[in-house]
Amino acid sequence: MEVFDLPEFDGHELVAFGHDAASGLKAIIAVHSTALGPAAGGCRMWPYATTTEAVSDVLRLSRGMSYKNAMAQLPFGGGKAVIIGDARKAKTPELFEAFGRFVDSHGGRYITAEDVGTTITDMSNIARSTQYVSGLGRAPGEAGGDPGPKTALGVFLGIKAAVKFKLGRAELAGGSVAVQGVGGVGYHLCGMLAGEGAKVLVADVRAPAAERVCQEFKATAVSVDEILSHKVDVLAPCALGAVLDATSIPRLRARIIAGAANNQLAQGQDGMALLAADILYAPDYVINAGGIISVAREYYGGATQAQVNTEIQAIPQRLTEIFERARRESRTTNAVADQMARERLARRPQQLVA
């Protein structure tokens, strides 16, 4: 495997491999950019089939974090970490303490937090070995804790903005949303959608997770194979990435794609296929920035949950700007968002708004 030759490599500043024999840790940290500040991004734990698969994922995710943090106007660069292992079987406090030492060895160049397969408890174990971690529990009213609900809030508000732009409706009541994946973000998103009066369809590889949402929010469960092809107003991918590709896009019957998953487009050119199908795409790293906004506020301290919520309220405006510019220039929304993010990365570091 030649890291520099992988298609996902994009001038990354650092790709580091960490191993701890005693705990079984096998981890990779990728720092894409520190142009705007220390690289921040979550730690994903996943049973990758090969090391190459893990490297490709961490490269894509870390670049996405550079763009996400730039678009959210946070004083962070972009980074990500992956731990190779099954989160249902391989977790131990010792493993995460070892990962914390790995993070600490980079002296603050990378700041970690939750992602798929990791939790607040895992972050607490990481914090035993390093100060460069966020997403920990905080006192009531203070910014921080599990970023999942904050990510869900941003996606919910972004869906409303997309529906208003594409369908001309200010409310979600009476509309339909298909949510793929009802984990730490998808579950909370379903609650918000149901509370707004939307018809919610859900699918998850874990049947009990889908059943819970159906019971609590009166959602309708469909199979994981069918969720993408249902005729709905909005499809919200909230599981893993690369769900939109040459095979899945022709099957879509949604008018809007707006979800929490990172790297929803398998390839950049898949945005052209969505445009040709007259499907509005909300760039994932813009709509799902609520979690990293919370992480940033917690890490730098002195902020409240109310301030975090206020900052998340800016996500719909950013999306609408992208939608309008894409329509005006006859371009894809992902191309417009990428250009805007690169322009912000080229500027001087920005300061977190007090």
Nearest-Å Rg of the Cα atoms of the chain is: 19
Percentage of residues of the chain with pLDDT beyond 70: 98
Structure-block tokens of residue 59: 């490269």
Stated pTM of the model: 0.93
Question: Which among 133, 76, 72 is positioned nearest to 102, based on CA atoms?
Answer: 133
The pLDDT, as a whole number, for residue 348 is: 56
Query: Which tens digit of pLDDT belongs to each residue from 80-133?
Result: 999 999 999 999 999 999 999 999 999 999 999 999 999 999 999 999 999 999
Q: Name the more confident of 1 and 154.
A: 154
What pLDDT sits at residue 216? Answer: 97
Range 136-144 average pLDDT: 80
**What is the band of 41 on the pLDDT scale with cuts at 50, 70, 90?**
very high
Instruction: Give the confidence band of 303 by pLDDT, cuts at 50, 70, 90.
Output: confident
Higher pLDDT, 142 or 281: 281
Task: Read off the pLDDT of residues 264-298 as tens digits, 9 standing for 90 and up.
Answer: 999 999 999 999 999 999 999 999 999 999 999 99
pLDDT at 38 over 60: yes
Q: What is the mean pLDDT of residues 322-328?
A: 98
pLDDT for position 271: 97
Q: What is the pLDDT of residue 351?
A: 43
pLDDT at 275: 98
Domain range summary for the chain, segments of one domain joined by +: 3-67+76-126, 148-288+317-344
* 333 within 8 A of 322, measured Cβ to Cβ: yes
Greater confidence (353 vs 173) lies with 173
pLDDT (mean) for 221-240: 95
CA 289, distance to chain mean position in Å, is 7
Model confidence at 140, in pLDDT bands (50, 70, 90)?
confident
Residues 43-85 have pLDDT tens digits of: 999 999 999 999 999 999 999 999 999 999 999 999 999 999 9
Q: How much is the average pLDDT of 32-47?
A: 96
Ranking 2-16, 128-142, 161-175, 313-327 by mean pLDDT, the lowest is 128-142
Architecture per CATH, domain 148-288+317-344, reads as 3-Layer(aba) Sandwich (3.40)
Average pLDDT, the chain: 95
> Does the pLDDT value for residue 241 go beyond 90?
no
- Write out the catalytic residue numbers: 80
Give 139's pLDDT tier (boundaries 50, 70, 90).
confident
Phi, psi of 161 (to 5 degrees): -65, -40
Percent of the chain exceeding pLDDT 90 equals 92
CATH class of the region 3-67+76-126: alpha beta
Structure tokens, 222 = 């469909």
Average pLDDT on 181-199 reads 97
